[in-house]
Amino acid sequence: MDEVAPVRAIENNAAELLLAMGAAGGGQQRDDDRVRWTVGGSPLDYHNAVVAADLAAADADHAISEFQRLLTERGVPGSWHVGPSMRPIDLGRRLLDAGFVRGGSEPGMAVHLSELVEPPGTGLEVSRVERAEHLAVWEATLGRGFGEGEKEARWVADVYRRLGLTDPWRHYLGRLDGEPVATATVYLAAGVAGVYFVMTVPEKRRRGIGASMTYAALREVTGIEYAVLGSSAAGRSVYARLGFREYCTIDLYESAHEPDQ
């Protein structure tokens, strides 16, 4: 795989995930050769998102205004995920001018699965979530330490109930001494395995559990060569030790104000 292909795989896998989750949540989709977005399927700004744009400079401001209008109509916050393939090249400046705020950046990382490095043992027992009662435990565990906590976990689990618990969706739960302590999701799309929702409950962190979860989930992937993910800044070194390389950065621009309640 050349240097461009991992970047496209990182962007495309995340785009497919966000569009699929948004549609399952009842969001309004736009999916054409110019813009891809989902709006209104989630209470979370990250998931009401523009995930791809190939716009002429003359059309960009109109597209930004249209996205803002839809956010207002649906009464939700939103975000624009600006990866290296997005055009025009000054899109970030245009978003700031339109009132968006910088919401941080995600390192986009990838690894050839033959080069995945096994982490030190942690005693973690990892199992795939295959039944509704297991997803309920996964939801409760995710809510203890990921993103917006119980609010985010509740929405994510509800979407996954609608999407189903079979391929391309794979969800994993990690236990220590029988206690649920970690989560992960693998999404098979765009020709790669995307890694999402890797979380360890706060009191069990810094023990290598996140690395063990990621490794265990990816060891079950067959027939696919690469895994990709968007890392937090804190997670970059964890994934690097598993063999992931950083290929790009995804910059997040968020709607500046919460919607009226």
Q: Residue 99 carries which side chain, given as an amino acid letter? A: G
Strand 35-39 to 49-53 pairing: antiparallel
pLDDT at 121: 87
* Angle at which helices 150-163 and 4-24 cross, to 10°: 90
Q: Where are the alpha helices (DSSP H) in 143-233?
A: 150-163, 209-218
Angle value at C-alpha 250, between 244 and 255, nearest 5 degrees: 145
pLDDT at 3: 66
Residue pLDDT, tens place only, 34-56: 999 999 999 999 999 999 999 99
CATH number of the domain located at residue range(s) 111-248 in this protein:
3.40.630.30
* Spatial distance between the Cα atoms of 177 and 52, rounded to a whole number of angstroms: 43
Residue pLDDT, tens place only, 238-261: 999 999 999 999 999 999 755 444
Percent of the chain surpassing pLDDT 90: 93
Give CATH 3.40.630.30 domain extents, the chain.
Answer: 111-248
Strand 226-230 to 192-200 pairing: parallel
* Spatial distance between the Cα atoms of 205 and 225, rounded to a whole number of angstroms: 29
Its pTM stands at 0.94
Residue 137, CA atoms < 13 Å, CB-side half-sphere: 17
